[in-house]
Structure 1
Amino acid sequence: AQLFRIAIMHRMTDTYGPIPYSKVIEDSSESLTVAYDSQETVYMKMFEELDAVIAALHANEQMSAEAFRKSDNVYYGDIKKWIKYANSLKLRIAMRLSYIKPDIAQAKAEEAVTDGVILDNADNAYMHAPENRMALIYNDWGDHRVGADIISYMNGYKDPRRAVMFTQGTWNKKTDYYGMRIGTDPTNKSAMVSTYSNQIVDSKSPYLWMNAAEVTFLRAEGALRGWAMQGDAKDLYETAIRLSFEERGVTGADTYLTDAVSTPQKYTDPMGNYSMQAPASTITIAWEADDTDAVRERNLERIITQKWIAIFPLGIEAWSEYRRTGYPRLLPAVENKSAGTVNVKYGARRIPYPSEEYTENPVHLQEAISMLNGRDNAGTRVWWDVKSLE
């Protein structure tokens, strides 16, 4: 339960910044008007709690899986796999601090890798629910379509994973992978549903929590930064891509890895409304060997871009890593509807607090907003979001 709480609240603090965290547990009255913690306090508390979780799991790792197999729809009672997941979550959380607290980030990341993280697809964290409700949203309601950004990258790379990740759409009798720009204003829903690509998902699909590819990309980034990640950056980067291809059940990883020519495709809107003159990035796939600042930064862009593809559809994680690193480079929203609080080139940096907090918890909310330099808007950067945007 503690592990789940950390995983869930990690998403919450990355979405909002300061959140009620430690005081929620300390308040025995179960009040909904407790004080907020700064995001730094939340992160340090999560590390403390994760270490306690990992220690408790280690103390019981020889327990038979039968003990709670029927209550566990992820690892079916295998505590050793839960240890790998907990350490992988610790690695993910540690990497978030790479620009704001690099010493802590390195120490916690190295601890996680040393103790054992997810290395193979057999240990991927998938939650097998009786029904995947995303199928209802994507297939039955038709309320979502795949974004232009990931389609443009994967089209440009001729990525074979497209066929198992996305449907094809049709426009003017031409069938292809088509993405929809952020900020598109649908005027004809039925036409858009048939034109733009959809995520391939059904009611029996499991929910992805974390996969070996993401963990290996995290290790690749750590190695690029000079951390002890049990492998060098290039080998880990290439291993991560191979793991993603294996997870998706497609071939061609070796050819893909050596492609030093293909770049993201410029976005052409099949419906002719929101096309762009140039792609958001010109980054290629193949690793560059030179050890200069410019090459290391390009290799970082490769790591994050390929991780972004491999973790689809983990939207909050992808958004957080985009904010932390600036990668992958994304198309600007079609229209800026933020009244000037958001730089459309870089997108929203957080989500404003719910209106209920203004009415139900106003005193503590104002304390939280003061931690955000007095601005509760989507353009305000959270604590760890400090990399230069230029």
Structure 2
Amino acid sequence: MKYIFRSLIVLAFFGMMSCEQSIEEINVDPNNSPSASDSQILAAALGNLGYMQDVDLNAASFLWAQYYTWGIGVSLGNQERFVSEPDDFDGYWGTAYADILIDLKFLTKSESLAYKGVGKALTAYVFQGLVDHFGDVPFNEALSGEINDGAILSPKFDQASAIYPSLVTLIDEAINDLSAASSDDIGDDDFVYHGNVGEWIKFANSLKLRILMRTSEVAPNADAVKSLIANGTFIETADDVAAIPFSGDAGGQNPMYARFEWGVGDFYFASNATLNVLEQLNDPRGTAFYSPATSGTFKGTLRGIDQGTVDRDVPFTDPSSDYSGSSDIAYGEANSVILMSDWEVWFLRAEAAARYGTADNDAVAFANAVASNFEYLGVDGADDYIASLNYGGSLDNKLDKIAVQKWIAMNGTQEDEGWIETRRFDRPASRLFTAGIFQTPPYSVLGAGKFPSVWLFPAIERSLNPNAPGQRTITDKIFWDN
């Protein structure tokens, strides 16, 4: 079923292109047609990327990030018990390599510097996601199945720690290409920035900052980060946000919305792991993330469920309307799929300033991050809330403040990035998630205080590629985790 959704999304993206194009011009498969234009290839890549980001990643991670939990009307799923099977991850792997990265490879060979630069930046984005979920993955020999590329059908897996520096190099190449590109090289097929190469440069710099900061606990990049902050332009405002839009019309609905409405159904409810933190901080964003209960004792207020307890101990005889589900912001048919937000980048800049003493003021960057998220959600009271957080003190205290606020801000928009960053910020100096915020599901197969930190290698890759490594457990760690 999900492949049908993906096809509909890509078709919808082609429908958003100029109506003056003939059917002969658009009725091609970019993955198999050597005559496909850069415009068609970019549209296909963005359509698949929007689907993958929202369904294969965000919808897969919002339980492990403990924004949501299974609720009334469904039996407890494997995700809530931390049970994973290798074929659970086949879809993401296949979409990333066989659909998106193949298309982007064509763009990186374009004669247009603009398309080439966008292709390289998005390639780095997709590969970082693969590394952050799987660790070692095919990189240098990936996408080399054609005769001209060496006919490599069983690519070797590269070490994750070696891929990261290569992504930085790729981003630098993208920035150079974009800086030299003509401003009118890309048009309506660019659904993210509508051909504005300056905005793509901001995206590339922001992605580079994310990559450099991801290793901050194990391999700091202080000099590179300080230079980047001093010289780069970044996603700073709502107008800069890198997002793939969806119209909300039939065939153009947000991928997660379409999946729940047409397929598996929406049986997810607010997790008390999140609601407890929002209540402790007197955070006014709760009703932006979740919808209040519409019946029962808690009518008009937020009522959650402890993580993974839907069929244990408590009988849950109350109807689902007695509990809080998702809001339109988190679950709306016309929601855009966000690749990088202004609040994410301001949080990165706050952390960089706190750790490395960059040209930014960390307190100002922290305030900008929180305020940007309030603005996106349409919630008032940002200034008073920021003041109540008492940001400051030791580096560890600052990092904890950044970690919690970043996790909160990713709710409903960038859930996968929220889960990834809980793994990074949960560090030896402060196990604030695994020994604090997170709740151990009663049926967890991992035991108390243990949580997933990596995805299993996909079954399809291990069955077809003799160079695939041995399987691991979901409590193994990526090289930047500790």
TM-score, normalising length: structure 1? 0.80
How far apart, CA to CA, are the structure 2 residues paired with 1:192 and 1:35?
49
Pair 1:14 & 2:132 matched: yes
CA distance in 2, matches of 1:106, 1:345: 32
Whole-Å separation in 2 of the counterparts to 1:132 and 1:23: 34
The equivalent residue for 2:233 is 116
- Partner of 1:252 in structure 2? 381
Q: Distance in 2 between matches of 1:155 and 1:197?
A: 17
| 1:376 shift after superposition | 0.5
Of 468, 471, 474, which residue of structure 2 is paired with 1:365?
Answer: 468
Range that drifts further, 313-322 or 176-185: 176-185
* Paired residues for 1:1-390 under 5 Å: 1-26=119-144, 28=149, 31-60=152-181, 62-64=182-184, 67-102=185-220, 105-113=221-229, 114-129=231-246, 130-138=252-260, 141-170=265-294, 172-175=296-299, 176-186=301-311, 191-192=319-320, 195-200=323-328, 201-228=331-358, 230-259=359-388, 285-288=389-392, 290=393, 295-312=394-411, 313-326=413-426, 327-328=432-433, 329-335=436-442, 337-338=444-445, 342=446, 344-361=448-465, 363-366=466-469, 369=470, 376-386=472-482
Offset, 1:29: 5.4
Aligned-partner Cα distance in 2 for 1:250–1:50 = 35
**CA deviations over 1:199-219 (Å, ceiling 9, x no partner):** 422211111111111111111
- Unpaired segments ≥5 residues, structure 2: 1-118, 247-251, 427-431
Per the alignment, residue 280 of structure 1 pairs with none
State the shift of 1:248 in Å.
1.8
> What is the total number of aligned residue pairs between the two structures?
339
Percent identity, aligned pairs only?
A: 23
* Offset, 1:148: 2.6
1:192 Cα deviation (Å)?
Answer: 4.1
**Local SS of the residue matching 1:135:** helix
**Contact conserved, 1:138 with 1:199, CA < 8 A, in 2?**
no
Farther off after superposition, 180-189 or 199-208 = 180-189
- The residue type equivalent to 1:305 in the other structure is V
Q: 1:82 to 1:30 in 2, by over 3 A?
A: farther
Verify the 8 A CA contact 2:294 2:321 in the aligned structure 1: no
Length-normalised TM-score, structure 2: 0.65
Q: Give me the whole-angstrom Cα distance separating, in 2, the residues matched to 1:354 and 1:381.
A: 16
Letter in structure 2 aligned against 1:377: T
Q: Deviations over 1:19-59 (max 9, x none)?
A: 11111145525655211001011111111111111111111
Contact 2:144–2:152 (CA under 8 A) maintained in structure 1: no
Tell which has more relative contact order, 1 or 2 (C-alpha 8 A, sep 6+).
Answer: 2
Q: Is the 8 A contact 1:94 1:109 kept in 2?
A: yes
